[in-house]
Chains A and B, each alone.
Chain A
């Protein structure tokens, strides 16, 4: 954090409060940008869709960090943070430019890291697997009528005809007519994505919720490593040459 970005509100809080989760949250540099004091005016709550239906309040999120209230923080870490819709309506409307959505995001990261997210992420396996093995997040195959019965009868019809419909739509657009992923990202591209997750420490974090996925990704990477690393070496040499 540069000198000019110091935030007197969060600095004061940091120096006076305690608690494990609180300290972990304050390590995230986004918190300094997300809290500038809170008027308790409730504008954020009035605009929050999650507050309309759940026991969740963006005002409480800001207040609990300002107060360093470990008991409420723990309550949020264990379940309430997963109610936030991440719509940033709170940030957009707050007269103090606070962002409860960003604080919640920092807390979700910590919840995963600390092994508190297993229940919240049950049912999320297929997305995580797709991200790590295909390079994108959604596939036509995942949108089965069984999984989305509330999307109505037309989903059943669409699902049964999707192959021929996509073939017609994407004629002349290679790589677009696939159903096990959103588009046919190349193997080299997927390897680069996996390497980013590994090098950034994100893959290790995935292991706290989905340990088997780490094995799948590492096996996949190992299988391709020789060929892919040779390509990366070529790229590195090309980049170095361009700098000279």
Chain B
């Protein structure tokens, strides 16, 4: 049951609910900029336009990437940020790995309710300002951060009271409100760079990737929290789009939409929920596809899929699907060492059978 990425795009692009109003955030930002209410951090250098909901074009910057990191990835799946750096190094893209950035704190906020909107939006704006003052395009590694920054942009543009409160906080730091022209996730960038990645790829690695069967899972905060700024329309296409471009055979499964069970707080304190949700997802994946790997773009989902397969033995199930991030796949295609440069050895579900199948040495 393979599917063509473009069919997904055209089929769902304009299919949102019955009384939905077209919301063009870019036009609203431009108006506020003209009124002197906000500054916009315009795209620097080359960009590629990709279509989001209602045919609106999203500019994906192709160079000068400020790397807004994911705390979950850096702590738990460090091969992901390393792969993000790797593919940029290979393609000659300039990036900035800043140590004056903070976490977005959205994981904390959604899990605990600690914090408030002024705090959350001010943290976002401080990080945006760091990219602006250093002269880079703001790009995001984490899906939780991505959803949060889309939401913070929306709230800051639509609510003057919040905007004024955030400006006050920023002024106390000697900073100002500069909203990036585009909120871009790293998987959107890798998708926009798919031709370049394929052109620069190691032919032997591409041979190993060709014909691998995979399913994809997108983080809920990638496309459900703010759903009108997602490349491809209502259903995301970037992970499967990049993978199929590199030769992976993407497969459909019935539970693609369902949350992985991460739940922000559940992964910490209610993991019986996480394990149960995973049981439903993994069962569908096994019965309907039995793929070579699960492709992801989200920190929380990658963690959940990777860490929750072993325990399913408790209910008589034996799952063994390597969990691979879009950028780890790109790095492998470009010739990265699977452990020393793509960090796949940090994953708990063994990746060795997949690497054997791809013909990649890992010792």
Query: A residues engaging B (CB < 8 A)?
Result: 1-2, 5, 29-30, 36, 47, 49-50, 52-54, 82, 85-89, 91-92, 94-97, 101, 105, 108-109, 111-112, 117, 120-124, 127-128, 131, 135-140, 142-143, 148, 150-155, 158, 165-166, 168-170, 173-176, 181-186, 188-190, 192-193, 195-197, 199-202, 205-206, 209, 232-239
With A123-B268, A200-B169, A205-B115 known to touch, is A170 a contact of B159 (CB < 8 Å)? Answer: no
CB distance from B302 to the nearest CB of A (A): 13
Q: Which residues of B contact A91 (CB under 8 A)?
A: 224-225, 227
- 21 pairs of residues in contact across A and B, judged by CB atoms under 8 Å: A47-B258, A49-B263, A53-B277, A86-B264, A87-B263, A88-B225, A89-B220, A89-B258, A112-B112, A124-B265, A127-B112, A127-B268, A131-B114, A138-B71, A169-B340, A169-B346, A170-B78, A176-B97, A183-B69, A183-B99, A234-B174
Q: Which residues of B contact A54 (CB under 8 A)?
A: 273
Residue B107 is within 8 A (CB to CB) of chain A in the complex: yes
B264-302 CB contacts (< 8 Å) to partner A = 264-266, 268-269, 271, 273, 275-277, 280
Q: Which residues of A contact B220 (CB under 8 A)?
A: 85-89
B19, B114, B310, B346, most chain A CB atoms within 10 A: B114
CB distance from A18 to the nearest CB of B (A): 24
* A50 to B272 Cα, complex, angstroms: 12
Q: Main SS of the interface on chain A?
A: helix
Q: How large is the interface on B (under 10, 10 to 19, 20 to 34, 35 or more residues)?
A: 35 or more
Which candidate, B1-9, B44-52, B119-127, B185-193, is the interface stretch facing chain A? B119-127
Which candidate, B79-87, B207-215, B240-248, is the interface stretch facing chain A? B79-87
Is A36 touching B350 in the complex (CB atoms < 8 A)?
no
- Selected contact of A200 from candidates B17, B113, B165, B268, CB within 8 Å: B165
- Who on chain A is nearest to B130 by CB? A189
* A202 to B119 Cα, complex, angstroms: 6
With A166-B78, A201-B116 known to touch, is A123 a contact of B17 (CB < 8 Å)? Answer: no
